[in-house]
């Protein structure tokens, strides 16, 4: 068994590498597919703040008793594994901010639970959000305030 590569196999591997490297320059990279659309950037980044995902909503946030929260005075819930980030870009445990009213940007998961929360700096809070007046997911009943909400105390005969 010959353990040393022959001259032919060495030249073949060099020729193959010479063909593969230029061909890979024409293939788009996966990282280029992950770039955000420039029109989707938000005003906070223009003012020196963080860049938030498209469709991020803004509201008044207070942890009542984790995972129970209030968003704009309405009772809501944090999703399992929800992340709360401080203005200093560090993770915050819900128990550390219980009872504090904070201005935040937040996103929801597919079930409508609050998934990510960013506590805003004063500069970020002063920037106007594109989605603050109209929710991005306004077709979901737990986001839009377009109709009556059942508070659990409505008699059965008065439900839709």
DSSP codes, 45-93: HHTT-PPPPTT-EEEEEEEEETTEEEETTEEEEEEEEEEEE-TTS-B--
What pLDDT does 55 receive? Answer: 80
Cα 132 from Cα 157, distance rounded (Å): 36
DSSP code of 27?
Answer: S
Q: Give the model's pLDDT for residue 107.
A: 92
- The full set of domain ranges for the chain reads 54-144
Q: Which two tokens stand for residue 40?
A: 């989707």
pLDDT of the chain along its 160 residues, tens only?
566 666 667 766 777 667 665 655 555 554 444 444 444 455 666 666 788 888 888 999 999 998 999 999 999 999 999 999 999 999 999 999 999 999 999 999 999 899 999 999 988 888 776 544 455 454 444 544 555 566 778 777 777 6
- CA dist 12 and 10 (Å) reads 5
Q: Does domain 54-144 have CATH number 2.40.50?
A: yes
Closest CA to 41 of 29, 32, 54: 54
What is the Cα–Cα distance from 11 to 131, expressed in whole angstroms? Answer: 60
How much is the pLDDT for 126?
84
Instruction: Give how far Cα 84 sits from Cα of 48, 77, 92, Å.
Output: 20, 13, 5
Write down the pLDDT at residue 97. Answer: 95
Number of residues that this document lists for the chain: 160
């Amino acid at each position: 068994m010959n353990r040393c590569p022959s001259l032919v196999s060495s030249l073949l591997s060099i020729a193959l590498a010479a063909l593969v490297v230029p061909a890979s320059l024409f293939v788009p990279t996966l990282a280029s597919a992950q770039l955000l659309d420039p029109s989707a950037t938000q005003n906070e980044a223009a003012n020196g703040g963080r860049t938030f995902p498209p469709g991020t909503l803004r509201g008044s946030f207070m942890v009542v008793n984790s995972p129970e929260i209030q968003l704009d005075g309405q009772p809501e819930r944090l999703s399992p594994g929800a992340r709360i980030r401080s203005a200093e870009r560090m993770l915050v445990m819900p128990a550390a901010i219980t009872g504090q009213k904070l201005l935040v940007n937040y996103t929801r998961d597919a079930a409508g639970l609050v998934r990510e929360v960013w506590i805003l700096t004063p500069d970020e809070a002063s920037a106007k959000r594109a989605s603050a007046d109209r929710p991005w997911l306004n077709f979901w009943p737990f986001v839009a305030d377009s109709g009556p909400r059942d508070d659990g105390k409505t008699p059965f005969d008065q439900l839709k």
